[in-house]
Amino acid sequence: MTEVDATDARILLALTEDPRASVMALSQRLGLARNTVQTRLARLESNGALAPLDQRIRPEALGYRLGAYMSVQVAQRSLAEVSDALALLPEVLEVTGLSGVTDLLVHVVAVDADHLWRITEAVLAIPGVQRLDTALAMRRFVDRRVTPLLERATGGSPD
Average of per-residue pLDDT across 144-151: 90
Q: Is residue 156, in this structure, part of any structural domain at all?
A: no
Q: Residues 67, 125: one domain?
A: yes
Domain count, the chain: 2
Q: What does residue 39 show for φ and ψ, rounded to 5 degrees?
A: -65, -45
- The C-alpha R_g of the chain, in whole angstroms, comes to 20
Instruction: Indicate the length of the chain as a whole number.
Output: 159
Q: Residues 49, 82: one domain?
A: no
Q: Is residue 153, in this structure, part of any structural domain at all?
A: no
Q: Residues 41, 80: one domain?
A: no
CA distance 74 to 101: 10
Q: Residues 118, 74: one domain?
A: yes
- Structural domain including 66 reads 59-137
pLDDT, tens digit, 9 for 90 and up, residues 86-97:
999 999 999 999
CA distance 61 to 83: 26
Please give the full DSSP string across 126-142, using - where no structure is assigned: STTEEEEEEEEE---SS
b/e per residue, 94-125, with b = 16+ CB within 10 A? ebeeeeeebbbebbbbbbeeebbeebbebbee
Q: Is residue 144, in this structure, part of any structural domain at all?
A: no
Pick the closest to residue 34 from 2, 11, 3, 4 (CA basis): 11
Amino acid at 4: V
Helix (H) or strand (E) segment spanning residue 108: strand 104-110
CATH of the domain at 50: 1.10.10.10
Q: Residues 69, 129: one domain?
A: yes
Task: Please say whether the beta carbons of 147 and 16 come within 8 A.
Answer: yes
Q: Residues 77, 116: one domain?
A: yes
CATH of the domain at 76: 3.30.70.920
Query: Three-class SS of residue 62?
Result: helix
The whole-model pTM stands at 0.82
pLDDT, tens digit, 9 for 90 and up, residues 13-47:
999 899 899 999 999 999 999 999 999 999 998 99
pLDDT-derived band at 158 (thresholds 50, 70, 90) equals low
Q: Residues 27, 63: one domain?
A: no
The pLDDT, as a whole number, for residue 157 is 63
